[in-house]
Amino acid sequence: MRNAFIRTLEKLCESNNDVFLLTADLGFRLFDSFRKKYPDRFFNIGIAEPNMIGISAGLALSGKNVYCYSMIPFLIMRCFEQIRLDLCYHNLNVKLVGVGGGLTYGLEGITHHAIEDISIMRSIPNMTVIAPGDPFEVEAITNLSLKYKGTMFIRLGRSDEPYVHSSVPKLEIGKGIRIFNRGSDICLLVTGAMLYKAKVTSELLLRKGFGVTLISLHTVKPLDVILIKDCAKKYKSIFSIEEQSIIGGLGSAVAEVLSEVQYDGLFRRIGLPDKFNRYVGKTEYLHQKYGLIPEKIADNIAKLIKGI
């Protein structure tokens, strides 16, 4: 995902002289080419994220289009107040590009995990929250972000995420996109790098005899409320899937809408528990522990629907 981001941004820079890229000393080798091509628009701020956000505000107030890059906990949790005041209050053109959504950096431990980021960012006025589902969505979102006015948090995984789309999809910020449209028993609403696993889950559920629709909600805020209200009318059961704590993320956002329209179907949030991880292992291992693998998700959904 991060490769798709930097590749796309580099291309955008060819025709846009106002793009600046800041990093807080992360992204080893990732920026080599960008740096070489645009040395006066690349700054390694050092391990000083609050300063990076402040500097990005100053640049944006001077008409620049700024991208700040780091691992999510350092990028958004350390500098929450700088983001709230310096960026969002002024609604500045700064895009916060965070890597390591969820348990991406599994073995690195809690310091590097990001299970609360969507909830935190979603709570700030003027903040747009986006978690692209695959490298093609990253490319589409990066392209859209250039002209997008305002502050945005783009949540990435790392690298090696499998492709779900067959080419760069036509996305619109704030609008979900149907990936899979085969029935109305179950609707899966997914955000971020869980997209691929959700797709496999859909196939398993189909095989179990359910009609399934899969929607990528790359934009968690502003939420595609129209689409969710429409889902409430069409589908007997709705499940949100995300690599985030079940508190405050996509699941909560969807629940807010569903409860207000008095959805009478079955709704469950699928995500990470409200706990600090206590296992040691790579992402896949941790996903197994938390049931975030297609077989487990499909089984749980089937059981829930059958009321077992």
Residues binding another protein (CB under 8 A): 40-41, 43, 45-46, 48, 50-51, 53-64, 81-82, 85-86, 89-90
Least distance (Å) from another protein to the CB of residue 141? 24
How far CA 163 is from CA of 4, 14, 167, 241, in Å, comes to 11, 26, 9, 18
Enter the tokens of residue 73: 């906990």
Question: Least separation, in Å, of the C-beta of 197 and another protein?
Answer: 39
Cα distance between residue 72 and residue 143, in whole Å = 21
Decide: 192 and 98 in contact? Cβ < 8 Å.
no
Q: Which residue has the tokens 């700024």?
A: 66
Q: How far apart are CA 67 and CA 20, in angstroms?
A: 6
d(CA 216, CA 195) in angstroms, rounded, equals 7
User: Would you say 56 or 283 has its CB closer to another protein?
Assistant: 56
What the block records as the tokens of 169 is 């999809």
Task: Give me the helix-helix angle, 195-207 and 294-306, nearest 10°.
Answer: 50
The nearer residue to another protein, 58 or 273, going by C-beta atoms, is: 58
Nearer to another protein, 6 or 45 (CB): 45
Question: What's the closest the beta carbon of residue 151 comes to another protein, in angstroms?
Answer: 14
Question: Shortest Cβ distance from residue 230 to another protein (Å)?
Answer: 39
CB of 6 to another protein, least distance (A): 21
Please, which residue, 2 or 41, has the CB nearer to another protein? 41
CB of 84 to another protein, least distance (A): 9
Q: Measured from the CB atom, is 45 or 255 closer to another protein?
A: 45
Question: Is the CA virtual torsion 263, 268, 271, 273 positive or negative?
Answer: positive
DSSP secondary structure letter of residue 76: I
Per DSSP, helices labelled H in 64-221 are 72, 80-82, 117-122, 135-147, 195-207
154: number of Cβ within 10 Å: 24
Please state the closest distance from residue 124 (CB atom) to another protein, in A: 14
State the nearest-atom distance from the C-beta of 126 to another protein, in Å.
13
Nearest CB to another protein, comparing residues 45 and 241:
45
88 vs 171, which CB is nearer to another protein? 88
Closest CB 50 distance from another protein, rounded Å? 4
Residue whose CB is less far from another protein, 23 or 56: 56
Q: Is 85 or 173 the residue whose CB approaches another protein more closely? A: 85
Query: Cα(59)–Cα(75) distance, rounded to whole angstroms?
Result: 17
107 Cβ contact list (under 8 Å, min separation 6): 280, 281, 282
Taking CA atoms, 119 is separated from 2, 109, 302, in Å, by 22, 20, 28
